[in-house]
């Protein structure tokens, strides 16, 4: 599968690289074409001119050969009006007219005479040094020198500039007053007097007005064609780039806000973070979400919702630094941001500040926003020097920010969470629990513990609560506080409830058959379970299957469960009661007020939350509340159970207030079923020793560190005997 980066690169390459390569190629072709056609034309002209000159010079050589010596020879050759000189074999000049400008620096060429098999030995002129010999031993025109020559005095006035490659060729603007040719001197040598002497004759390559004109026209034509091609190609390339820019803009534009989109965030974000100049900055990847966006759309319209997102976008664009930070709209109501983060606390404050502004986007509404943050630290090498971030996986970083944000998901309130080890730990734990849950159930790794409930006055056993324990071979002993909330979220809790009910029913049945004096055992039923319409029937059937009398099972509902679907709840409670099960309200007094639920729900037992018995004992107000709650329950014909009672004063107080049962460490911790069986046999309360009484209460009312209770090792057990003896 293609990554985002690859898709982007493909789009970019298709539009820009193509035209540019095509342009460069075409320019190279045109350039090479111009160069070779000019070169060919020039050498053709030179060769052509050579022939005439050679013929004239050859005449002179023949005449000199046939003619006399010394002055006669001179007279004869002088008639031709050309410069010449004759040297003997030793190199001594024997005859000369005009200057010898072939000299020693002159280049020698064996030149093939046009249209013949003959070769002429030709020397370039060192004065008007415009001819060169190329690597094929051919005479070529040195454009640069030629242009310079044309520039000299007589041609000074009017020039045509022609540029070939990097060579500047200036040619006279050919008007009437201009001599109708340009002469380029060369020297041609002939062996004369049977090889005794050599005659050098100066020849002139007449480049006439016509030649020059043709030459200039060809150069200009080719140049113009080249220019037109260049312009055409260039406009094509520019249009391509323009189109490309548009495509990329489109590729990066969010259709809802009109701003940047997720692609932009990922691709440009990585560039931003990896930029060398940002290496000294800590950065944070932020996932920001507008809560209840879908609700807003439902109540108003999607168009209104999108308008709201645009407003969020607009506000963000004033808050985010364009040079060193960026943001984009993701899916739905999510925004992704990359912000500078020199200090985590300051960033948190900044985000809260931002959220405060966002909350007030609309006068008629108050919105809530949640942000999750993943911080990217500065990177150092082995020597401790700060180095550039080589690559950042923004998808991964955003995912961290997102999971930090999701830890807030249950609440609708605004908030900011920074991703950290704790969060990773939690996620890993969640993963492990979910991985093992199924097997744990099948392998019966869950154990039922019983926590007795005692009458505070008679100290007699009146009931018990069944509490789950997990002894996992892989995870060790796990307290319910660490897995029940997970199961409640993922729905596995319904299996747990079934498991507990059937196990408790079976235990009760066995104890009953063993002739023990059984008391009702309450089982927790999760709120998630109450969504099922036939819950009461399910419970009844399970208990009937074990053959347990219904009065030995009680169902505990937590207070928060009462908020879901009141009607369905009342219905289930009524059915349960009808089948003969007692129903209790768990955790009464914790969290939200439950007085209202008391009004509507026909419950049998009120369990006062452990929170009532935490905190300052000397506080009279707490006692008043407990006392009134008991009275209220009594008026409603409900029995009361006080949870989490740990000290004797509380037991005495509750006894005096008429509380029916006490479930707390003062009497007993949750214990394995065999220990509970012993308790049933004893029937009487096991009161705590002095050190037990002073043990610090656990704040959340849940004993997370609890070891499986072993009665024989439990001091409370020893105390019992004494208590029992005392009472006897
Ligand atoms: P809960 O139903 O409120 O259970 C009472 C909790 O208080 C138990 O914690 C118990 O060990 C603890 N406790 C009892 N007396 C004292 C005391 O004097 N001091 C202190 N500090 N704590 C005391 P546990 O067993 O850890 O259970 C925690 C919660 O997990 C339970 O709260 C209940 O909500 C849930 N839970 C436990 N077992 C089950 C189960 O089988 N099914 C369901 N659905 N939830 C369960
Ligand atoms: Ca409970
Ligand atoms: Ca409780």
pLDDT exceeds cutoff 90 at 615: no
* pLDDT band per the 50, 70, 90 thresholds, residue 703: very low
Q: Are 284 and 338 in contact (CB under 8 A)?
A: yes
Which residue's CA lies nearest to atom 16 of ligand 1? 644
Which residue's CA lies nearest to atom 9 of ligand 1? 702
Length of the chain: 728
**Overall average pLDDT of the 587-608 stretch:** 83
**Overall average pLDDT of the 449-458 stretch:** 96
* pLDDT band per the 50, 70, 90 thresholds, residue 174: very low
* pLDDT band per the 50, 70, 90 thresholds, residue 692: very low
Structure-model confidence comparison of residues 284 and 118, the more confident one: 284
pLDDT exceeds cutoff 80 at 673: yes
Which residue's CA lies nearest to atom 26 of ligand 1? 702
Pairing of strands 582-588, 605-608: parallel
* Measured distance CA(361)–CA(173) in Å, rounded: 75
Q: How far is the CA of 585 from the centre of ligand 2 (A)?
A: 9
Ligand nearest to the CA of 588: 3
**Overall average pLDDT of the 639-643 stretch:** 97
Q: Are 613 and 698 in contact (CB under 8 A)?
A: no
Ligand nearest to the CA of 708: 1
Write down the pLDDT at residue 594.
Answer: 66
| Residue in 46, 52, 60, 48 with CA at minimum distance from that of residue 201 | 60
Q: Is 184 helix (H, G, I), strand (E, B) or coil?
A: strand
* Measured distance CA(643)–CA(71) in Å, rounded: 148
Write down the pLDDT at residue 37.
Answer: 75
Q: How far is the CA of 571 from the centre of ligand 1 (A)?
A: 26
pLDDT exceeds cutoff 80 at 48: no
Q: How far is the CA of 702 from the centre of ligand 2 (A)?
A: 11
**Overall average pLDDT of the 487-501 stretch:** 93
Fill in the DSSP letter of residue 666. Answer: T
Ligand nearest to the CA of 522: 2
pLDDT exceeds cutoff 90 at 42: no
Write down the pLDDT at residue 20.
Answer: 74
Q: Which atom of ligand 1 is nearest to the CA of 700?
A: 21
Q: Which atom of ligand 1 is nearest to the CA of 526?
A: 44
Q: How far is the CA of 594 from the centre of ligand 3 (A)?
A: 14
Structure-model confidence comparison of residues 39 and 662, the more confident one: 662
pLDDT exceeds cutoff 50 at 213: yes
Which residue's CA lies nearest to atom 30 of ligand 1? 480
* pLDDT band per the 50, 70, 90 thresholds, residue 711: very low
Q: How far is the CA of 364 from the centre of ligand 2 (A)?
A: 43
The residues, ordered by sequence, that sit 6+ positions from 432 with a Cβ below 8 Å of its Cβ are: 474, 475
Angular region, 454: left φ>0, alpha ψ -120 to 50, beta rest = beta
Indicate the top mutation candidate among 484, 521, 686, 692 to test ligand 1's pocket, ranked by most ligand atoms within 8 A of CB: 484
Ligand nearest to the CA of 452: 1
Q: Which atom of ligand 1 is nearest to the CA of 670?
A: 11
Pocket of ligand 1 (CB under 6 A): 451, 467-468, 479-481, 484, 493, 496-497, 500, 524, 526, 586-587, 610, 643-646, 663-665, 670, 697-698, 701-703
pLDDT exceeds cutoff 70 at 707: no
Q: Which atom of ligand 1 is nearest to the CA of 467?
A: 38
Ligand nearest to the CA of 557: 2
How far is residue 631 from each of residues 479, 559, 657, measured CA to CA in Å?
34, 19, 8
Write down the pLDDT at residue 149.
Answer: 72
pLDDT exceeds cutoff 50 at 429: yes
Q: How far is the CA of 698 from the centre of ligand 1 (A)?
A: 12
Least confident of 14-23, 289-298, 679-688: 14-23
**Overall average pLDDT of the 133-162 stretch:** 65
Which residue's CA lies nearest to atom 42 of ligand 1? 524
**Overall average pLDDT of the 323-351 stretch:** 95
pLDDT exceeds cutoff 80 at 509: yes
Q: How far is the CA of 437 from the centre of ligand 1 (A)?
A: 19
The counts of H helices and E strands in the chain are 21, 27
Write down the pLDDT at residue 178.
Answer: 46
Q: Which atom of ligand 1 is nearest to the CA of 523?
A: 41
Which residue's CA lies nearest to atom 24 of ligand 1? 702
Q: Are 293 and 330 in contact (CB under 8 A)?
A: no
Least confident of 83-92, 115-124, 418-427, 694-703: 694-703
Write down the pLDDT at residue 725.
Answer: 34
Q: How far is the CA of 720 from the centre of ligand 1 (A)?
A: 23
Write down the pLDDT at residue 16.
Answer: 63
Q: Which atom of ligand 1 is nearest to the CA of 488?
A: 44
Structure-model confidence comparison of residues 116 and 652, the more confident one: 652
Q: State the burial class of residue 450 (Cβ atoms within 10 Å of its Cβ: 0-12, 13-18, 19+).
A: buried
Write down the pLDDT at residue 113.
Answer: 72
pLDDT digit string, tens, across residues 215-259: 677 778 877 887 888 888 788 878 878 888 888 888 899 999 999
Q: How far is the CA of 417 from the centre of ligand 3 (A)?
A: 30
Q: How far is the CA of 449 from the centre of ligand 2 (A)?
A: 12
Q: Which atom of ligand 1 is nearest to the CA of 698?
A: 21
Q: How far is the CA of 721 from the centre of ligand 2 (A)?
A: 29
The Cβ of residue 307 has, within 10 Å, a number of other Cβ atoms equal to 15
* Measured distance CA(571)–CA(592) in Å, rounded: 22
Write down the pLDDT at residue 589.
Answer: 85
Write down the pLDDT at residue 461.
Answer: 97
Ligand nearest to the CA of 647: 1
Q: Are 680 and 516 in contact (CB under 8 A)?
A: yes
Residues 639, 641, 645: CA angle, nearest 5 degrees: 160
Ligand nearest to the CA of 704: 1
Write down the pLDDT at residue 5.
Answer: 75
pLDDT exceeds cutoff 70 at 543: yes
pLDDT exceeds cutoff 60 at 266: yes
Write down the pLDDT at residue 617.
Answer: 64
Which residue's CA lies nearest to atom 3 of ligand 1? 587
pLDDT exceeds cutoff 50 at 176: no
Q: How far is the CA of 607 from the centre of ligand 3 (A)?
A: 7
**Overall average pLDDT of the 434-463 stretch:** 96
Which residue's CA lies nearest to atom 37 of ligand 1? 467
Which range is most confident: 362-371, 418-427, 610-619?
362-371
Mean model confidence pLDDT for the chain: 83
Q: How far is the CA of 524 from the centre of ligand 1 (A)?
A: 9
Write down the pLDDT at residue 179.
Answer: 53
Helix (H) or strand (E) holding 186: strand 181-192
* Measured distance CA(602)–CA(583) in Å, rounded: 8
Write down the pLDDT at residue 710.
Answer: 39
Q: How far is the CA of 306 from the centre of ligand 3 (A)?
A: 45
Write down the pLDDT at residue 561.
Answer: 62
Write down the pLDDT at residue 559.
Answer: 62
Ligand nearest to the CA of 526: 1
* Measured distance CA(64)–CA(89) in Å, rounded: 16
Indicate the top mutation candidate among 467, 485, 495 to test ligand 1's pocket, ranked by most ligand atoms within 8 A of CB: 467
* pLDDT band per the 50, 70, 90 thresholds, residue 727: very low
**Overall average pLDDT of the 67-87 stretch:** 80
Least confident of 120-134, 272-286, 360-374, 459-473: 120-134
Least confident of 123-132, 184-193, 464-473: 123-132
Structure-model confidence comparison of residues 637 and 5, the more confident one: 637
Ligand nearest to the CA of 467: 1
**Overall average pLDDT of the 89-105 stretch:** 82
Write down the pLDDT at residue 76.
Answer: 77
**Overall average pLDDT of the 270-298 stretch:** 94
* pLDDT band per the 50, 70, 90 thresholds, residue 137: confident
Least confident of 89-98, 393-402, 666-675: 89-98
* pLDDT band per the 50, 70, 90 thresholds, residue 709: very low
Indicate the top mutation candidate among 654, 667, 700, 702 to test ligand 1's pocket, ranked by most ligand atoms within 8 A of CB: 702
Q: How far is the CA of 643 from the centre of ligand 3 (A)?
A: 6
Indicate the top mutation candidate among 496, 524, 646, 671 to test ligand 1's pocket, ranked by most ligand atoms within 8 A of CB: 524
Q: How far is the CA of 704 from the centre of ligand 2 (A)?
A: 15
Write down the pLDDT at residue 397.
Answer: 95
């Amino acid at each position: 599968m293609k990554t985002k980066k690859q898709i982007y690169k493909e789009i970019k390459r298709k539009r820009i690289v193509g035209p540019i390569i095509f342009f460069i190629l075409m320019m190279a072709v045109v350039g090479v074409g111009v160069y070779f056609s000019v070169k060919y034309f020039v050498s053709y002209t030179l060769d052509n001119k050579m022939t005439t000159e050679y013929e004239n010079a050859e005449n002179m050589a023949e005449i000199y050969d046939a003619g006399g010596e010394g002055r006669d020879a001179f007279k004869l050759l002088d008639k031709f009006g050309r410069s010449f000189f004759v040297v003997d074999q030793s190199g001594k000049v024997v005859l000369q007219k005009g200057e010898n400008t072939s000299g020693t620096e002159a280049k020698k060429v064996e030149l093939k005479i046009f249209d013949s098999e003959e070769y002429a030995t030709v020397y370039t002129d060192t004065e008007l040094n415009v001819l060169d010999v190329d690597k094929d031993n051919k005479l070529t025109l040195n454009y640069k020198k030629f242009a310079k020559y044309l520039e000299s005095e007589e041609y000074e006035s009017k020039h045509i500039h022609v540029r070939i490659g990097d060579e500047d060729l200036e040619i006279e603007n050919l008007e009437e007053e201009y001599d109708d040719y340009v002469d380029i001197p060369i020297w041609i040598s002939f062996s004369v007097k049977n090889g005794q002497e050599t005659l050098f004759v100066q020849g002139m390559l007449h480049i006439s007005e016509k030649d020059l004109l043709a030459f200039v026209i060809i150069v200009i034509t080719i140049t113009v064609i080249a220019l037109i091609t260049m312009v055409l190609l260039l406009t094509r390339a520019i249009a391509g780039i323009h189109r490309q820019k548009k495509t990329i803009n489109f590729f990066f534009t969010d259709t809802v806000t009109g701003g940047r989109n997720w692609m932009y965030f990922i691709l440009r974000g990585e560039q931003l973070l990896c930029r060398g100049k940002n290496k000294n900055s800590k950065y944070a990847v932020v996932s920001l979400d507008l809560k209840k966006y879908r609700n807003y759309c439902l109540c108003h319209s999607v168009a209104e919702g999108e308008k709201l997102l645009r407003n969020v976008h607009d506000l963000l664009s004033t808050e985010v630094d364009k040079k060193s930070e960026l943001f984009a709209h993701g899916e739905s109501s999510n925004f992704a941001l990359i912000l500078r983060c020199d200090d985590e606390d300051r960033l948190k404050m900044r985000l809260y500040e931002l959220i405060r502004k966002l909350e007030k986007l609309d006068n008629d509404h108050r919105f809530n926003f949640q942000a999750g943050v993943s911080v990217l630290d500065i990177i150092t090498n082995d020597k401790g020097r700060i180095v550039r971030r080589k690559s950042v996986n923004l998808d991964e970083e955003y995912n961290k920010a997102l999971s930090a944000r999701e830890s807030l998901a249950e609440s609708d309130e605004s908030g900011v969470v920074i991703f950290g080890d704790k969060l990773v730990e939690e996620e890993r734990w969640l993963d492990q629990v979910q991985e093992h849950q199924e097997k744990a159930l099948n392998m019966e790794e869950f154990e039922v513990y019983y926590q007795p409930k005692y009458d505070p006055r008679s100290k007699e056993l009146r009931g018990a609560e069944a509490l789950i324990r997990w002894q996992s071979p892989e995870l060790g002993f796990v307290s319910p506080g660490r897995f029940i909330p997970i199961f409640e979220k993922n729905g596995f809790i319904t299996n747990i409830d079934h498991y507990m009910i059937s196990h408790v029913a079976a235990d009760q049945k066995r104890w009953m058959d063993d002739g023990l004096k059984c008391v009702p055992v309450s089982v927790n039923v999760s709120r998630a379970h109450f969504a099922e319409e036939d819950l009461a029937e399910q419970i009844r059937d399970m208990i009937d299957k074990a053959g347990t009398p219904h009065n030995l099972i009680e169902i505990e509902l937590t207070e928060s469960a009462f908020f879901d679907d009141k009607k369905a709840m009342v219905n289930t409670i009524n059915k349960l009661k009808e089948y003969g099960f007692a129903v209790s309200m768990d955790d009464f007094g914790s969290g939200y007020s439950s007085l209202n639920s008391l009004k509507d729900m026909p419950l049998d037992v009120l369990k006062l939350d452990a929170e009532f018995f935490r905190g300052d004992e000397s506080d009279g107000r707490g006692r008043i509340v407990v006392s009134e709650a008991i009275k209220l329950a009594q008026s409603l014909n409900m029995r009361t159970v006080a949870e989490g009672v740990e000290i004797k004063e509380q037991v005495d107080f509750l006894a005096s207030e008429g509380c029916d049962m006490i479930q707390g460490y003062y009497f007993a911790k949750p214990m394995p079923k065999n220990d509970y069986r012993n308790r049933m046999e004893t029937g009487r309360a096991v009161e705590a020793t002095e050190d037990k009484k002073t043990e610090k209460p656990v704040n959340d009312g849940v004993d997370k560190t609890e070891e499986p209770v072993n009665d024989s090792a439990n001091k409370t057990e020893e105390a019992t005997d004494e208590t029992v003896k005392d009472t006897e």
